[in-house]
Amino acid sequence: MNYQTPSLTAGLGRAMVALAARPAGMAGLLTAQGFAVEQDVDLLHLARRLDSPTRHSRSLRNGRVAVARFTGPAPAGH
């Protein structure tokens, strides 16, 4: 899953999303739906690992990719 983390220049309209759009928050949401997060990395780190251009480092730093494996149905009540 690719998702954006809040940046310092983001508007206040993202305040509610900001709580879930952090690595721990996203892991919690995925876990609650029956997924096990195996890796969560920012796009800047990923681009550097792949030797890809990183000119837009601010955007890449705020974008993230979470790799999760479905482990079973979500717990009851979620």
For the stretch 10-63, pLDDT in tens is 554 455 466 566 888 889 888 988 999 999 999 999 999 999 999 888 888 888
Instruction: Identify the pLDDT of residue 9.
Output: 55
φ, ψ (nearest 5 deg) of residue 7:
-105, 165
Query: In this structure, what token pair is assigned to residue 73?
Result: 């149905």
Instruction: Identify the pLDDT of residue 40.
Output: 93
